[in-house]
Amino acid sequence: MREVLVVIPARGGSKGIPRKNVRLLAGIPLIAHAIRTSRAAQTVRRVVVTTDDEEIATIARRYGAEVIQRPPALAEDAVTLDPVVYHAVTTLEADQRYRPDIVVTVQPTSPLLRAQTINRAVELLRSGRFDTVISVVEDTHLFWTRNKAGQYVPMYESRLNRQFLPPMYRETGAILASRRQVITPESRIGPRVTLVELPPEEAVDIDTHFDWWMAEKSLARRRVVLRTDGSHQIGLGHVYRCLTLASRILDHEVTFVMSSDLTLGTSLVRQHHYSVVESKGDPLETIRRLSPDIVINDILDTTSDYVDALREMGAFVVNFEDLGAGAVRAHLVVNSLYDSPVPLPNHVWGPEYACLREEFYSAPTKRVQPEVRQVLLTFGGVDQGNLTIKVLRALDEVPGGFQVDVILGLGYTHSEELRTLRPGLRRPPRIHHNVRSMSEYIHKADLVITSAGRTVLEVAAIGTPCLVLAQNEREMRHLHARSENGVVNLGLGHQVPEAFLVATLRELVENVELRREMNRRLLALDVRGGCERVVELIISRYRAFEKERS
C-alpha cells in the first residue's frame, strides 16, 4: 500500500465563521495549514483539495496542492463528506488513472494536526489489521442527554471523579483514513476500525470564533526554557523570579533546566508543578535536546561561549542580572538591580523591570501609622555578614514599645549565636523560618530592615519604610536601594558604626514624617507593573527576532 492520497475538503460557504478557509490564521490562510502538514507527512504521495470556490482553489495551488472542482450538488449544507471524498477519488481514477491504496481525509479546520499523526494513521492501515483509522481526543466527563420524552438523563451509571470514569473519546474531525476498498458514496468506514488519540492541543477543530482564538493561541505557542538554580548558598531569589515569569507565560510551553546537585531549587519548582529537567555539569546538551525557541537565564553572570552556543541552537537568549561576558551576546538583558556601564541596545535596567513573587501583586499597600509597633528584620537566604545579630543589638538600644520579627533564610548558619543572644535582649524577637507569605510580614511591619537585594523591591511594592545594610560590594551597585527611591541605605553593613546605626534607627522610629516621605517615594516606583513589562518586552523582542530570521 504505497499510494497514499490526502483529500482536503474545503467549500466556500462556511456559516459559523464566514470564509474561514481563506482567513489568515497565524499569518497564512487556514487551509494552508492542512496543506503544509499533509505535504510534510513522509507517507503521503499526493495532496488534493476538493472545493467549489475559486479563491480556495487559487490558495490551494499556491501552497502546493492539486485541486478538484467540486460539483454544486456536493457543496450544499446537508451534504456529508462521504460523497465528497468519493467524488474526489473517483475523479482521479477516471481522469488520471490514479488509484490510491489509502485515502486520508484531512479537515482544513484542524490547523494543529501534525504530520507525524498522518504517518501514524497510514502505518496502522499498512499493518493490514485495520480498514479505517479515526482521530479522537479523550473526553471523559459526566455526560447527559435527552430521551425521546425530552427529559435530561445521565449517560453514566454512577457519579465518580473523572479519573475513575470509563474513558470516552470524541472524534476530532482531523483525520479519517481508510483503505480504498471501503470508500463508497455512503461511507468511508470499514468493519475494522481503530482510533488515534490526539493530545488536546492537536485536537482543536475550528467551528466557532472561540475555536479560532484557541487555534491562534496554540500556533503562537513557543518552547521556553528557564535556566536557573537555588540552594542554601545562592538562595532562592532567582528561582522565585523564574516561577513568577512562568506563571505569566502560560501561553507557552515552559520547562525548567536546573542542576541536579542543587535539590533545594528543583524541589521548589516541582512543588509548583512545573516541568523540571535536571542537568549534571554543563547544561547545554540538556537544553539542546529540548529545542527551545527562547532560553531565559537567571544564573547571574554568563560566558560568551555559553550564550553563543544557545544562539547557534537558534534560540532567543534572555539573561537576568548578567554582568558577565555573555551579557553582550544575549539578545536581551534585563537588570532590575544594576545599570549598564555602557548603553547597550540589548540592555534594559531599573526597578521598573522587577519581577516580584505572585503574592505581592495582590498585597495591600502600607499606610504609615504615627507609632512604630512592629519592626521586621530579614537579610535574605544566607545573611553572609550575620547582620541580623548586629541589628538586633542596635535595636535593643532604641526606645519604643515595638515588637521585633526576624525571618531567617534557609542558608542562615548563625542560629546558635542567635539562640544565645535572644534571651538577653530587652525585646526578644520572634523568629520565623521558611516563611511562605512574606508580603504579610512586610505589610504588618512599620519598619523593615534588610539587605540591598530583591527584598527592597518587594518592600517597595507595599511601601513599608525600609532601612538597608548591604551585604557585599555587588549589592552596593543596586539601583533601587537609594534615598531618591525612599530607602535609607547605610552602605556596607559590616562597616557601619554601631552608634550611627542606633542613631539612624532611633530617627526612623521617632520621625513619622520621614517614614511617610519614604512610603510615598517607595510606592512611586510602581514595581508591581514590572513583570508585565518584562514579559511584554521578551515576547515583542522575540517576535521581531523571529520575523527577521524568517
SS3 readout for 215-235: HHHHHCCCEEEEEECCECCCE
**pLDDT for 426 beyond 80:** yes
Q: Per-residue DSSP letters for 368-412?
A: --SS--EEEEE-TTT-TT-HHHHHHHHHTTS-SS-EEEEEE-TT-
Read off the pLDDT of each residue in 33-39 and give the average, rounded to a whole number.
97
Given a contact cutoff of 8 angstroms between Cβ atoms, the answer to whether 336 and 349 are in contact is: yes
Read off the pLDDT of each residue in 74-98 and give the average, rounded to a whole number.
94
Given a contact cutoff of 8 angstroms between Cβ atoms, the answer to whether 406 and 392 are in contact is: yes
What pLDDT, in 10s, does the model give residues 513-529?
Answer: 999 999 999 999 889 99
Q: Which of 283-292, 339-348, 454-463 is the least confident region?
A: 339-348
Specify which of 15-19, 373-377, 481-485 reaches the highest per-range mean pLDDT.
373-377
Domains and CATH numbers, the chain: 4-218 (3.90.550.10), 221-330 (3.40.50.11190), 363-527 (3.40.50.2000)
Between 314 and 323, the higher pLDDT residue: 314
**pLDDT for 479 beyond 80:** no
pLDDT band at 189 (very low <50, low <70, confident <90, very high): very high
Read off the pLDDT of each residue in 81-100 and give the average, rounded to a whole number.
95
What is the C-alpha to C-alpha distance for residues 327 and 320, in angstroms, rounded to an integer?
9
pLDDT band at 341 (very low <50, low <70, confident <90, very high): low
**pLDDT for 165 beyond 80:** yes
pLDDT band at 313 (very low <50, low <70, confident <90, very high): very high
**pLDDT for 434 beyond 90:** no
DSSP secondary-structure letter at 523? H
Q: Which of 309-323, 384-398, 418-432, 475-489 is the least confident region?
A: 475-489
pLDDT in the model for residue 340: 67
DSSP secondary-structure letter at 361? G
Taking residue 433's Cβ as centre, other Cβ atoms within 10 Å add up to 11
**pLDDT for 6 beyond 90:** yes
What is the C-alpha to C-alpha distance for residues 316 and 319, in angstroms, rounded to an integer?
10
* Percent of the chain surpassing pLDDT 70: 99
**pLDDT for 41 beyond 90:** yes
